[in-house]
């Protein structure tokens, strides 16, 4: 740590005295200086920074020891050495005081005893050495502290810079902002971001995408370029090796590529922009004009910035990609939405056609049907026909067919009324158990024929509701006849009811009736579709085969009509089923929710 040998100065006008002392002190690892007068002693001391002990004779011609001590104290080149006074005469106490006042550490009386001198000087020498060691340590600590402060400042700048870098997602804007930031914050003269073009693995050039070298403004996207096989260029060298490169004296550097407009550049640092072990996407290049070389701290900072820039560029590219994908997606969604809107319009037209068709057909069929029904009834009263079993069967067939047709035409008329919103409801208090009882009564023959059980549960607790009984009857008649139609022989149909609990005290009370069966069930994707007009699952060409035959075909109007009526009452109707399975028979549930009071 410390290499300079400390010095001891002997000041005495008597040469013999000096010689004796010098001999005594020779055993110590010190340089011994001698002076025969005060001025000579001061001159020597002024040039000796490592002076640790002065052995000072008090009585000397011209300048005495006290004055020498006084002046020595004022010398600033050195830490004040330990002063040991020597006096040949029996000294007075006041002389000792005076010596101590002047900074003496000891007072010796001549003739001095060699072991005493040696012992004392050794103590001060050791003290001096320790002080020097301490000073060196303090100096080292100072440097470390300064380095640390410098690192902290750089780290702060790097963190701030990287925060700002990370928040910009447009790549051109990003690169320009990075150049600006690095230059402003770190004070480098020239900064440039060079990207491989086209991107690796097909790179042919390194292109300056954003940089400030010789112009006051930032040169942006893409301008200056260097071929990737250029033999001389620090930027190309760094890109090829994938390692940082420092040229603290560009004039003597083998890779430095001089530029006429950058004649005063002194040092250059380039770091690769890369992610992991992949080929760098480019290089961050920094150059300075000042004579200061790049420190290890500078290089580390530039490397860190390089890594962050690589990540930021990747993010910006990903963002651009995502944005492009989003735009594509939006365009596709727009196109599809437009197609859907067109389809919807077509569907609306079709729906209107359907409604018109129902209205026209049902009206037109009504009169001839009435005639057929009337005449077939009259024929059935004719004795000739009644007495002829064959004729009678045929006329009965006409009458039954006309009756079924009447039911279909009635449904069509109802649907037409619902479509044209001309269905008039005649509200009155309705006793639902009674109404459902009446409906099931009508179905009794069918239930028996098909060996089905129908159970009615907890309907008696239901309050009376305000509704149109004729219309509601159609709803439950439809649901129960469907349950009969889609449940195989021997199955079970259940009708349950409950009053729904209100969520809030001011909420309208509602009741719910559920018609469930143990039939073939309904596929989830059809559970909404079956409520549309003319929808029937299965083969459309199955002819209408009665209201209660297993899987009997129908016109597909029943549920549409039921939903229309329930909604006209301010209620809801929906189907629920685990799925369609003609072997496992998962069954279906139809929920009808109606307000207790007229809405
Ligand atoms: P339809 O008047 O022809 O009976 P609906 O509108 O009443 O027509 O019913 C439409 C379709 O809904 C039926 O063809 C049938 O596929 C299905 N469906 C209705 N009720 C049930 C049920 N309880 N179980 C299984 N499928 C049903």
Peptide bond into 111 cis (omega under 30): yes
- Ligand 1, closest atom to CA 560? 6
∠ CA 564-566-571, rounded to 5°:
125
Structure confidence at residue 409 (pLDDT): 86
Question: Which atom number of ligand 1 is nearest to the Cα of residue 515?
Answer: 23
**Among protein residues, the one whose CA lies closest to atom 7 of ligand 1:** 558
Is the CB of 536 within 6 Å of ligand 1?
yes
Rounded to 5°, the CA angle 381-383-384 comes to 120
Mutation test of ligand 1: which of 533, 553, 558, 590 has the most ligand atoms closer than 8 Å to its C-beta? Answer: 558
pLDDT recorded at residue 222:
67
Contact 575, 473 (CB under 8 A): no
Q: Give pLDDT, residue 545.
A: 54
Q: How far is the CA of 199 from the centre of ligand 1 (A)?
A: 64
Is residue 555 lining ligand 1, measured as CB closer than 6 Å?
Answer: yes
By C-alpha distance, which of 570, 593, 530, 568 is closest to 421?
Answer: 568
What is the position in ligand 1's atom list of the atom closest to the CA of 538? 16
Q: What integer pLDDT is reported at residue 90 of this predicted model?
A: 62
Q: How much is the pLDDT for 543?
A: 47
Would you state the pLDDT for residue 484? 95
Cα 76 to averaged position of ligand 1 atoms, centre (Å):
114
Gap between the Cα atoms of 395 and 379, Å rounded: 7
CB 211 within 8 A of CB 192: yes
Report the pLDDT value the prediction gives residue 42, as an integer from 0 to 100. Answer: 92
Of the candidates 515, 524, 523, 462, which has an alpha carbon nearest to the alpha carbon of residue 492? 515
Residue 455 Cα to ligand 1 midpoint, Å, equals 20
Mutate to test the pocket of ligand 1, among 553, 556, 566, 584 (most ligand atoms within 8 A of CB): 556
Distance 561 CA to ligand 1 centre (A): 12
Of 408, 482, 584, best ligand 1 pocket probe by most atoms within 8 Å of the beta carbon? 482
222 CB within 6 A, ligand 1? no
Tokens coding 234: 């620090």
Cα separation, 398 vs 382, in Å, equals 15
Nearest CA to ligand 1 atom 20: 482
Residues in Cβ contact with 197 at an 8 Å cutoff, skipping those fewer than 6 apart: 203, 204, 205, 206, 207, 222, 225
153-186 pLDDT, tens digit per residue, is 777 877 777 777 777 777 888 888 889 888 888 8
Ligand 1 neighbourhood includes 483 CB (under 6 angstroms) = yes
Any ligand 1 atom below 6 A from CB of 369: no
Is the CB–ligand 1 distance for residue 491 below 6 Å?
no
State CA 159 to chain mean position distance: 20
The two three-digit tokens of residue 220, written as one number: 């942006």
Q: Is the CB of 570 under 6 A from ligand 1?
A: no
Distance CA 568, CA 403 (A): 27
The answer to whether 591 and 571 are in contact (CB under 8 A) is no
Can you list the residues of the chain whose pLDDT is less than 50?
Answer: 1-2, 540, 542-544
Could you tell me the distance, in angstroms and rounded to a whole number, from the CA of residue 591 to the centre of ligand 1?
A: 14
Nearest to 474 by CA among 384, 414, 389: 414
Distance CA 452, CA 553 (A): 19
Whether 519 is in the pocket of ligand 1, judged by its Cβ within 6 Å, is: yes
């Amino acid at each position: 740590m410390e290499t300079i040998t400390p010095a001891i100065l002997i000041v005495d006008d008597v040469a013999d005295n000096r010689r004796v002392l010098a001999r005594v002190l020779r055993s110590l690892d010190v340089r011994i200086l001698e002076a025969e007068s005060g001025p000579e002693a001061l001159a020597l001391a002024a040039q000796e920074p490592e002076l640790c002990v002065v052995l000072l004779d008090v009585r000397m011609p011209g300048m005495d020891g006290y004055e020498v001590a006084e002046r020595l104290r004022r010398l600033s080149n050195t830490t004040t050495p330990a002063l040991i006074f020597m006096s040949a005469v029996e000294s007075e106490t006041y002389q000792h005081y005076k010596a101590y006042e002047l900074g003496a550490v000891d007072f010796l009386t001549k003739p001095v005893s060699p072991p005493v001198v040696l012992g004392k000087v050794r103590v001060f020498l050791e003290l001096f050495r320790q002080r020097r060691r301490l000073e060196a340590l303090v100096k080292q600590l100072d440097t470390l502290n300064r380095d640390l402060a410098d690192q902290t400042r750089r780290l702060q700048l790097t963190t701030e810079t990287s925060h700002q870098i990370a928040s910009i997602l447009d790549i051109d804007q990003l690169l320009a902002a990075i150049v600006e930031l690095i230059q402003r914050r770190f004070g480098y003269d020239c900064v440039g971001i060079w990207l491989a073009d086209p991107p690796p693995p097909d790179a042919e050039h390194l292109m300056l995408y954003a940089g400030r070298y010789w112009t006051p403004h930032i040169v942006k996207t893409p301008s200056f370029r260097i071929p990737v096989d250029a033999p001389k260029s620090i930027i190309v060298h760094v890109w090829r090796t994938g390692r940082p490169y420092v040229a603290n004296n560009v004039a003597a550097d083998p890779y430095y590529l001089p530029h006429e407009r950058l004649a005063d550049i002194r040092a250059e640092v380039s770091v690769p922009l890369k992610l992991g072990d992949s080929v760098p996407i480019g290089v961050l290049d920094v150059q300075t004009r000042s004579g200061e070389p790049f420190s290890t701290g500078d290089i580390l900072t530039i490397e860190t910035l390089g890594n962050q820039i690589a990540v930021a560029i990747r993010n910006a590219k990903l963002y651009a990609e995502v944005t492009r994908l989003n735009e594509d997606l939006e365009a596709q969604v727009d196109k599809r939405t437009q197609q859907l809107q067109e389809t919807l319009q077509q569907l609306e037209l079709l729906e209107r056609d359907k409604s018109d068709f129902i209205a026209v057909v049902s009206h037109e069929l009504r009169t001839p049907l009435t005639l057929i029904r009337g005449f077939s009834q009259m024929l059935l009263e004719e004795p000739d026909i009644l007495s002829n079993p064959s004729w009678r069967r045929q006329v009965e067939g006409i009458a039954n067919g006309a009756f079924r047709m009447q039911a279909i035409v009635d449904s069509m008329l109802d649907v037409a009324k619902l479509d044209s919103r001309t269905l008039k409801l005649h509200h009155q208090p309705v006793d639902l158990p009674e109404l459902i009882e009446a409906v099931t009564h009508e179905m009794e023959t069918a239930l028996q024929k098909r060996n089905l059980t129908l159970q009615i549960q907890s309907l008696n607790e239901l309050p009376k509701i305000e509704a149109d009984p004729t219309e509601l009857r159609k709803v439950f008649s439809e649901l129960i006849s469907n349950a009969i139609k889609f449940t195989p022989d021997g199955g079970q149909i259940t009708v349950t009811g409950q009053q729904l609990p209100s969520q809030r005290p001011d909420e309208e009370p509602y009741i719910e009736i559920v018609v469930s069966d143990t039939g073939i069930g309904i596929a989830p994707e059809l559970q909404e579709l079956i409520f549309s007009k003319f929808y029937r699952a299965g083969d459309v060409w199955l002819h209408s085969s009665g209201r209660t035959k297993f899987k009997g075909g129908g016109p597909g109007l029943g549920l549409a009509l039921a939903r229309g009526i329930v909604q006209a009452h301010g209620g809801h109707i929906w189907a629920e089923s685990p799925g369609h399975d003609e072997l496992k028979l998962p069954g279906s549930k139809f929920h009808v929710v109606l307000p207790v009071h007229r809405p």
